[in-house]
Structure 1
Amino acid sequence: MSDLEARLAEIVRADPGLMQVLTTVRGLELNDWRVFSGAVYQSAWNAVTGRPPGYGVRDYDLGYFDPDTSWDAEDAVIQRAAAAFEPPFRDMVEVRNQARVHLWFEGKFGEPYEALTETDEALARFVAPAFAVGVRLDEDDTISIAAPFGLEDVFSLTIRPNPHRPLARGWDRAVVNARSRWPELTIIQPEIA
């Protein structure tokens, strides 16, 4: 584990809301699951900027991987997860089968999306490297971290476009949204060709 991964694991453990979500999700025994994106990098941003745990966190994105891509199978997991949480978490945990994302992504976001083979593969497609981080609480209480671009942008409060994909249509909205809560962020705008 790198120094930044160890630091992130400590931050995650110090965030009571995130730990409650991780502990509850672990009990669901989902295949290849991660809590990723905002709830993770925002927890780090809060620690770096001296804000309290949970500040600015609007939801907890939970991805898992089930080769059964039927809506009924995903809905059953969504319902099971909802039943496992009390409010406010019941309404904040957003569950998505990563094996299904390619079925609806283009219709929702206007971009093609190749089928994934595992949950962690989704991280490399996120809008920005800082957003591409996921965690899991393993059975031995280890915090497992996936961050295909590393954690440097997370801890330096930097948002830059993902270099391995076209600029996301929601780029401007994502930047404005993040900066409204963490004005200390450095934004590296895409180069215009």
Structure 2
Amino acid sequence: MRYKTIYEQTEEFVSILKQNKDLMTILDYIYELNLPNFYIAAGSVFQTIWNYYDNKPLNFGIKDIDIIYYDSNNLSKEVEKELEGKIIEHFKELNYKFDVHNEARMHLWKKEKENKNINQYKNSEDAIDQWIATVHSIGITKENDNIKVYAPYGLSDIFSRTIRPIKHKDNSKELYDKKVASWQKRFEKLNIIEW
């Protein structure tokens, strides 16, 4: 069996994502908002792929849509929440929970919500690089009407359903185990790499 190149994997990945009409509608809307350094990221992206190969509805088990952007010129929590409210209102008929975060202020959010001190991210990609698992560290965006994929650990783990921890200093075994347990409830045939 010949392995697919990263180009072939990316092409297949985008082709599958384009079939998730909800995700594409949301991506188009976020693109029109002109948010700096934005991505739809994490679960809604990789779970679409898993659902496709399980012959399930592409949105099966997707609990929320994570939207991130990076605006170091405005670290206001109120602006972030206002933007989230605007997106929720626009897509109220889709029945998703939307989590919208300015990754430039995530260090403030972590301090406030979890009493954790982390360094300020340099950009959205820096944030994605440090998320809890390789399948989770994925984002899609648009540039000039083309879908772009940011996958710092590649796409192989998503296609093979391999849950591999990212042992960054700000991550924990407890959070990883919680995420793994959640995914195991909704998806079969996962290859779990222990922390």
TM-score (norm 2): 0.88
Q: Which residue of 141, 146, 152 corresponds with 2:150?
A: 146
Aligned counterpart, 1:44: 49
**In structure 1, C-alpha distance between the alignment counterparts of 2:153 and 2:111, rounded to whole Å:** 24
Residue 77 of structure 2 is matched in structure 1 by: 71
Q: Percent identity?
A: 27
Q: 2:92 aligns with which of 86, 91, 96?
A: 86
The one-letter code matched in structure 2 to 1:148 is: P
Following the alignment from structure 2 to structure 1, what is the Cα–Cα distance between the partners of residues 30 and 78?
A: 20
Q: CA deviation at 1:16?
A: 1.1
Helix, strand or coil: the match of 1:95? Answer: strand
The residue number in structure 1 matching 2:129 is 124
Higher mean displacement: 54-63 or 44-53: 44-53
1:106 deviation in Å? 4.3
Q: Contact between 1:157 and 1:185, CA under 8 Å: does it hold in 2?
A: yes
Residue in 2 that maps onto 1:2: 7
CA distance in structure 1 between the aligned counterparts of 2:105 and 2:173, rounded to whole angstroms: 20
Partner secondary structure for residue 144 of structure 1:
strand
Residue 107 of structure 1, CA deviation: 4.7
Q: SS of the counterpart of 2:100?
A: strand
Matched residues in 1 for 2:61 and 2:84: separation?
24
Equivalence for 2:183: 178
Counterpart code for 1:122 = A
**For the residues of structure 2 that align with 1:72 and 1:150, how far apart are their CA atoms?**
35
Matched residue type, 1:84 = H
Q: Which residue identity does 2:53 align to in structure 1?
A: V
Residues 1:33 and 1:7: Cα distance change in structure 2 (over 3 Å): same
CA shift, 1:138, in A, is 2.8
Looking at structure 1, the residues matched to 80 and 57 of structure 2 have their Cα atoms a distance apart, in angstroms, of: 33
Distance in 2, matches of 1:156 and 1:163, equals: 20
* Letter of the structure 2 residue corresponding to residue 72 of structure 1: E
Q: Which amino acid aligns with 1:92?
A: K
Q: How does 1:22-41 map to 2 (within 5 A)?
A: 22-41=27-46
Give the secondary-structure state (helix, strand or coil) at the position aligned to 2:92.
coil
The aligned amino acid for 1:69 is L
TM-score normalised to the size of structure 1?
Answer: 0.89
Q: Name the count of aligned residue pairs.
A: 188
- Deviation, structure 1 residue 40: 0.3
CA-based RMSD: 1.8
| Structure 2: 5+ residue stretches without partners | 1-5
Alpha-carbon distance, 1:31 to partner = 0.9
* Matched residue, 1:157: 161
Corresponding position of 2:23: 18
The question of whether the paired residues in 2 share the 8 Å contact of 1:61 and 1:94 is answered with: yes
The one-letter code matched in structure 2 to 1:161 is P
Counterpart of 2:9 in 1: which secondary structure? helix
Equivalent residue of 1:44, what SS? helix
